[in-house]
Each structure stands twice: as C-alpha cells, then as structure tokens.
Structure 1
C-alpha cells in the first residue's frame, strides 16, 4: 500500500497532550506505525556525555502513533483524510479528501 503520511508532510495532531498543534514530519517508522513530528510530543531525556555532545537533559520530539495525526489540508490547514488519484500521465498522487486538492508534486 502507498504511504499516506510521508517525511516532510505538514500534519495536525488529533488527540493527546498536543491536540490541535501542527508540525512537519521528521521521520516515519512504518513497521511501528509511528511518526516523529517537529516540535510536537516533546520529552526530556538524560544525555550521557559523548565526544560531540555535552551531558545534560535534552528535549527532543518522541514518536506519535499514525492514528493520532492527520495531514493538514493544503487549502486551509485543517486535518483531512488522504485519497489517491491516478493522473493522465500515469502518476499516482495523494489528494486531500476535504478539498480535493493535490498534496504532493
């Protein structure tokens, strides 16, 4: 199946502590069904000192379940479901079900 959420997509959080917040997908973990979104679901982690990094408490984004995020509609930024459409030249593209707008290239 084609991926409905990809790296670089603008998404909106649907549930949880960060409900309503939006950000860009940094990483998708398809085997776990999770995605990391920039600036959302931030957690503090204790970091041991390494050659490149100082020791201390680091704040970084943690993964969210894919069911708890939705793609932001390119037209109005509200959450939307994703559909697929084959163009005349044979390319398969993702479309926003809410507005019918094309999501990618």
Structure 2
C-alpha cells in the first residue's frame, strides 16, 4: 500500500463570511458561514440546506426530530463583498511583507 501525501486545502471563504448560494434547492439565499470543513471542501451556511435529523434519547439530552443545517460544497457559494454588497469571486494579493490577502474583484476592497 502506497503512502499518499495529503495536501491541506484552503478555502476562499472562511467562518463568519456572508455568502450567496448560487445553485441547488436554496439558490438565491444568503447566509453566514457557521462552520468550514476544508478537508472535504464544504461549508455550513446558517439557515440554508436544512435537513431533518431523528435522534435517539441519550444521557446528554432528549431525542426527537431536529432540523439542522447540512454542509454544502464550497463551489455552490459565492462571497458577498461587505463594501459593494455584490456577490464576487475572491482574488488574492500578496503585500510587500509577503502576506496573502483576499480582495473583491469588483471594488478591490481587502476582506482581511
């Protein structure tokens, strides 16, 4: 069995970003990213992709039917620029100190 090197994948959106869902059953909805899963290239968006989960009672709490947000692929969401309020592709700049920053492709506003 060969040992494969696993590269860490970075996402163009991070926890706390406001995003627009561009495909799927929740197309057109906006929400905040509450969790990112870079290994699977997925994000969990608040109030979108709601699924029903049936849980058994346990010592931690009561069981029952819960509605929780499920992960979406990162390719299905688009970042909303806080300045121009448009959905935008994320571009990257490297400053003079060698730090990498995300910025808006419409208004050139730096996100980080």
**TM, length-normalised to structure 2:** 0.83
Q: Secondary structure at the match of 1:45?
A: strand
From 51, 60, 78, give the equivalent of 1:52: 60
Q: How many equivalent pairs are there?
A: 104
- Is the 1:12–1:78 Cα contact (8 Å) retained in structure 2? no
Correspondence 1:33 to 2:37: no
1:3 deviates by 3.2
What pairs up with 1:9-24 in 2 under 5 angstroms?
9-24=17-32
- Extract unaligned runs of 5+ from structure 2: 1-8
The aligned counterpart of 2:5 is none
| Structure having the higher Rg | 2
Aligned alpha-carbon RMSD (Å): 1.5
**Structure 1, 46-55 or 65-74: larger mean CA deviation:** 46-55
Q: CA separation of 1:26/1:13 partners in 2, compared to 1, >3 Å: closer, same or farther?
A: same
Q: CA separation of 1:2/1:61 partners in 2, compared to 1, >3 Å: closer, same or farther?
A: closer
Name segments (4+ residues, structure 1) moved above 4 Å.
Answer: none
- Please give the alpha-carbon distance, in whole angstroms, between the structure 1 residues aligned to 2:106 and 2:69: 28
- Extract unaligned runs of 5+ from structure 1: none
**Structure 1, 85-94 or 5-14: larger mean CA deviation:** 85-94
From 67, 72, 78, give the equivalent of 1:64: 72
